[in-house]
Amino acid sequence: MNASDIFSSLVHERHSVRGYLSTPVPDALLHEVLALARMAPSGANLQPGAFIAVQGEVRRELSNALVTSWRAGAQEKEDYDYFPNPMPMILRRRQVAAAQALYGALGVARDDRAGRDAQFERNFCFFDAPVALVVTMAHGFGSGGYMDLGMSLYGLMLAAQSKGLSTCAIGAVASYPSLIRQHLGLEASSHIVCGMALGYADPAAPVNTTRTTRCDLDDYFKVIG
């Protein structure tokens, strides 16, 4: 298989994995994946963003606090806006389709509020993956910093995929930035961008059969002139 085919295979095989084996990820392998992720392009080579591995009792306490806050309906001001407000209908349809794919794979009905809530709570436990990462970025980078960090995150996902690992970005944790900063002892200037689950996919987990579609080329590409 040539380099082009290898890359195409990685891109098509990568998907968000929400069911993991308990098999530990060796530190050396995690460090290698993170180093490869940092090879992503970066304007002026500023390389914004940091990756924090949360382990042991700190992880358990953080996850418990996140679940408790979410169940209580507690809300915090997020460090950045992810979704447009209001959400255009064309984007809302994509959001709904993604949710249908996830809960459909799990056999959770649309009116099963308890089932949906139970699955959503797993975001705050990093889907029980052996590696739980919290991704941060220093205050003041602006939109360009988020763009560069996004490229690094995708590099992390592809690097992990190339090593037989799987990942899932977790935007839900960004809803509780102050709580996370408190538990991890971070400065107020450290913005919480997202979480990341990383590990070996459980091939028997029904949730891992979830697949989402991508837009047709004509929806996002045009030629002028």
CA angle (32 as vertex; 31, 33 as ends), nearest 5: 90
The per-residue pLDDT of the chain, averaged, comes to 96
What are the pLDDT digits (tens) for 97-112?
A: 999 999 999 999 999 9
What are the pLDDT digits (tens) for 46-94?
A: 999 999 999 999 999 999 999 999 999 999 999 999 999 999 999 999 9
- Which residue segments constitute the domains of the chain, with CATH numbers given? 12-83+124-206 (3.40.109.10)
Q: How many CB atoms lie within 10 A of CB 130?
A: 18
Closest among 2, 17, 13, 3 to 169, alpha carbons compared: 17
57-61: which pairs have CB atoms within 8 A and are 24 or more residues apart?
A: 58/183, 58/184, 59/126, 59/132, 61/183
What are the pLDDT digits (tens) for 130-145?
A: 999 999 999 999 899 9
| pTM, entire model | 0.95
Q: How many CB atoms lie within 10 A of CB 44?
A: 7
CA angle (206 as vertex; 201, 209 as ends), nearest 5: 75
Residue 124 near residue 18 (C-beta atoms within 8 A): no
Q: Could you tell me the pLDDT band of residue 122, with boundaries at 50, 70 and 90?
A: very high
Q: What does 47-92 look like in DSSP terms, one character per residue?
A: ---EEEE--HHHHHHHHHHHHHHHHTT-----SS--S-SSPPHHHH
Closest among 91, 103, 101 to 213, alpha carbons compared: 101
Phi and psi based region of residue 42 (left: phi greater than 0; alpha: psi -120 to 50; beta: remaining): beta
* Confidence (pLDDT) at 142: 85
Letter for the amino acid at 59? R
Residue 10 near residue 163 (C-beta atoms within 8 A): no
Letter for the amino acid at 68? T
